[in-house]
Structure 1
Amino acid sequence: MQQIKQEVLDILLQLKGSGKFASIHSDDFVFPGLVVEGIGETAFPINPLQANALIQAGHKAPFGKGKATIYDDNVRSAWEIDASKLSFNNPQWTKFIDKAIGKIKTDLGLEDYTVAAHLYKLLVYQKGDFFLPHKDTEKEKGMFGTMIVGLPSQYTGGELVIQFEGVTEVADFTQNPNPYSINYAAFYADCDHEVKPLTSGYRVCLVYNLVQEKAAKKISLQSLQSHVATLSKILTKHQSKQDAQPSIVLLGHQYTPENFSYESLKLNDRVRAEALLQAAKEAGYYAKLCLVTSYLSGTPAYDGYDDDDDENAEMEEVYDESLTIEHWADDEHPALSNVSFAEADLITSFPIDEGEPIVKESTGYMGNYGPDLMHWYHFGAVMIWSHQLNAKLLPSQYTGTQLNWIEHFNRTSSISEEEKVVVDHILTAALTNPKTSYYQKDPTNYNAVADWLINGNKTTFLLNLLPERLHLFFEKIDTESWIKLFKFLSRENGTILFEKLTKALTLSVLEKLLDVLQVMMEDKTLKPLATVQIQKLPKYFKLVYDEYDHRVNAPAFTNLFWTAKHASSTAEWTNEILETLIQKPNRTYIHGTIAPQLLSVKEPSELTHKLLLFCQEYLQQRANNEPQPPASWSRPMPDNFGSHKYQWQILKDFLESPTEQNFDFRKNQTERKELEYAIKSSVVDLKTETIKKGSPHTLRITKTQAAYHRQMNDWNEDVALLEKLKDSKQ
């Protein structure tokens, strides 16, 4: 294992820079003071008259083939002016070029080299001009690349397309809406590049040779593919082992989770990450960019009391630490939520807990306790693992992660037999850990389960699931996906599935069933199957209402009312449903669920009409019994004393008195608090206040008419709702 780690590190250490083969930028306009021999100083933006003058001063642009110089309008059509006829009056132009070189060096990974830009030519493209794909030849000693500087002018087309090892970058200078900006692009001479045909206007640009000035290792564009091929073989050697663990390779730099992405990778990290990702893909493995987080907490390395929170103090003693992957970059593969590893498992050339952490916190002093320090190291990394290892990891992942992977498998044919077996196991016995990490998104898309069953033609598997597992999927999978599933099943198998779903019916399954049946009724192919189940709804409602104290929710009533109107329900069906719905009438349920649904009905049915009459009768009975205020000040004792029997004995005579309204309890604070807590813990018509005169203070207890006011409030609501129901058009 140690040898494999070293082999990986040896390859990565050879990769330097950002990994880019092209650098494309746009900067604020600097007046070049460009002087063309025979024409004079050029104004900007360059207009058609000036462009034509430049063409007249130049000559047709050739191209090199070996040592030969060839003119062929079928390969290249453009005009050029040699550097010897060009000069610049503005000294700021040299500073602009130097600044551009600085950005280019960073992009191309050449910070350690001395690079200069030598003016080569001025090019003019007019409508129809182009340059077919080609490589630049070395025009002077030390030349390793080319820089193109676009001068402000109006044109369309003429995109500069640069390619290397199957990757394409496009420099389209027309995309910048500011006509006075200066766009430029640079690339290695080994890159194939072309200029697409100009469709209008004039494209005018300066061409510079990029030259290595000081003696050093020759600048050349590294062939990433050769390193990728070697890494792929090394990774295969590692992952093919029976007891293989994920290959977790640290890149070198730290990143905050909020700003971590492939685009944010620094310096050498990008090219190394790209090499690892490509090598894994070539080997047929999963690979994902992630943050390896090392967390340390402990005590600071100083003594004494300090009022300031010193998060910058050194940590003297570590008493808690962890090593995790909690953040993953977005790409084609889902993240994992639970990966166990130790520091010894990492492929890294440096200790993970040395140096400055990217995040530091201090709790500060807390009473008699000293501060705690917390350090977070967030290192960019690439994790690589095989399909076989993925099959071992999936059962221990959180539910959202497992569902994300099932969704991924539905979109790809790249799945191993081991992974297929594991997914079936997850559907049979897992999906029981809904926890997610701090950074992980949790879409919990159970619809992926339906697609998995359909794509795998898993009718038998579905019908063999245990009832509680069927209930879970029936509740979690969207109605639209269940419609797809029932269309996938034969009518006979659909009937069997309904029998299993309704064998041990739950309230939530009944609510979902009403929604599914309504949509099925609107589909000609599923309507016969749905009709059979709708006829059984009275039985289903009775089973659930006899078993559960809770009742179906408002959306379920909406679906039931639609079914009663559109599913040709009989009088017997209606009466059976109604009888179940009105058993054990509940005021809160009528106010909060049934009545609002009845008031929103747009297509009345016999069921809604009869249910409306029942609600009116129920509310009328309550309206006929207007609450009356208490005849005296006596109040009942609470039904349940709990642990406060002694306190209520103190209040017994006061509560029973028909005339006493106040009771003063002058005791020490502990006794007052216990009595006050007893009152607040019960539903009783008493309120309390503390009178802070004398010592000890007095707890004054006053009788109220709160119960009567609550009854009157309920009565007023009943009367108002009754009027609304009477005014409804049903």
Structure 2
Amino acid sequence: MSACSFVDFAQSASPEGQRSLQELEAACEAAPFGRKQETIIDETYRKAGKMDSRNFMTRFHAEQTGIVDMIRTGLLTGSSEEEGISAQLYKLNVYGKGAFFKPHVDTPHSQKMFGSLVIVFPTPHEGGQLILRKENSEWTFDAARLLSGSADRIAYVAFFSDVEHEVLPVLSGHRVTITYNLYFDNAQSRPKVPKGLAVTQPLHASSGAIKESLRAFLRSPKILPDGGTIGFGLRHVYALPTVWDDGDPEPLRAIGQGLKGSDAALYRACKELGLAPRLRLITENFDDPIMLDHINCLGHVGEEDETAILLDAGGVFIKDAEFPGDDENDEGEGVGHRKLPVHWVTELNGLNRTSQAYLSYGNEASMGYMYVFVCLIADVGKHSDRIVGLSMVDEGVAEGEGGAQPSGTNEAVPGA
């Protein structure tokens, strides 16, 4: 029968508290980390102790503290703000003197997982700052400084799963944390954001700021005077299978039900400006990229080639266009199909990539793969038409399907 111990973090500065922390550290296993498809232990990359949730109990409950509601208003935007959130206890970590974790990105455990919540207990320590990085921005979360001299508080930080982060070396003491995985959960309650509560967000995650920028962009007569299609690469990573199989969730619908942060803010801004935004797939490994509104099961490919199957299923050839662009039609190579010019506002990227295996028959059977990226596109009308539409948006008039939506519309983000 194993022995149980109780650690009072409020008394961790006392000699008895220090002994308890040392015992807790000794009871932990070496913390592993994921590298590609493997879980490994390498103390040159991560040195820390860990305890799985089944091996400890805590009287701290994140959902009873109001932290989850703060995450909803501070981290999520657009329709995601009213999603139910479930915080599931994942593990306990102890970082003693010299412990660290080099830069890494978490792997979502399911389609509904969107982030992590880390609680730092008030144990005396120096160092161990958590560094968060996204694109060209960097933030430092220094729990030791925030908790210095206090034994009755905790520090917490929540971030999306695709944010790179690292734990700097602990210089002294013990940094003790528990981590929750954050999931969208429609079974949970969805409280409204209280009226009058202002949440400070980065500009790229604020639907209001994005809407104003888009409005100014669309008002310019130099931008697509005859209309066209604009495209956006997604900024966040979503849980897509490396290889999609027939029967897996449709990628666009799975992502559309849980857009995060700036992606959700962008979708909402486009919708409110009447741009009818849609998520789409773009093929990677074809001579000419093809845009799809769903992933197509190629199955066994015989005399018909892959391209013909995708076009017959509603796919469209696309070409990159510059601002201001020339929207003249362009013929696909050897197939006589029009190419749709897409003007990329933000670059198409490989953050959300999946593939499909299929069996190709030629002189002999071989396995082929179709690779696709996810993006967001929207249609822009002629300058004279959209000025009228923007004026109606400013007056709060809805134009029906594909038109301007009144501010505050609560709707699920469609996948296609």
TM-score range normalised by the length of the shorter chain: 0.3 to 0.5
Q: Which has the higher strand share?
A: 2
Question: More relative contact order in 1 or in 2 (CA 8 Å, sep 6+)?
Answer: 2
Larger Rg: 1
Normalized per residue, which structure has more helix?
Answer: 1
- Please, what TM-score do these two structures have when normalized by structure 2? 0.45
TM-score (normalised: structure 1) = 0.26
